[in-house]
Structure 1
Amino acid sequence: METITWQQFEQTDIRVGTILEASDFPEARRPAYKLTVDLGPLGIKRSSAQITRHYTKEELAGRQVLCVVNLGKKQIGKYMSEVLVTGFADENGDIVLAQPAAKVPNGSKLI
């Protein structure tokens, strides 16, 4: 595995946000939801997330997640994703969300 410097790591801006809403994304190539995420002082951002195997839309509202906020926007079909919601692949390759162990203020930076 290639290593990076501490300065390179510090360039990745990972913040906590609360999912306000999840909706279907039928235009996506792989099953996904459109998410609206409250990142506190960074504002409300949108993301596309392939998390349909482990989560229903209804149970996502109110859940805190870790988001990379400085990757830039990504066009996914007609939808503009503004942040990357992070997670881990399980043994089947399905995504499990990365979350703080306890509630923290929206916009808090991973340090």
Structure 2
Amino acid sequence: MTEEEHGSPARSDQLSVSIVLLAAGRSSRMGANGAHKLLSTFQGMPLVRRSTLTSTTSAARSVIVVTGYRHSDIQRRIADLPVKLVHNASFASGMAWCFGCRGRGA
């Protein structure tokens, strides 16, 4: 597991909750054509960026984005945003790994 932190530290007036965006899956339900739902665009913006932007404008203490499959592509779309990236190299094991993230910076 690797972590990359971007942006400024949390403000003291923020809630003591964190947002964890799960962006590690293969989007297998999108079909066999290789489309990835988080990299798909809506109104000119990749969905992963739209979700991350919405999260960073909330009152949450921090935003953690868990990546896995297509990590580099997702990272490029949100590299300039104040989030912590956590790469799940075991993404093929399913999302249960992410529920253990609580002690990993959340």
User: Structure 1 length normalisation: TM-score?
Assistant: 0.25
TM normalised by structure 2 equals 0.25
Higher helix share: 2
Structure with bigger RCO (C-alpha 8 Å, 6+ apart)? 2
Structure with the bigger percentage of strand = 1
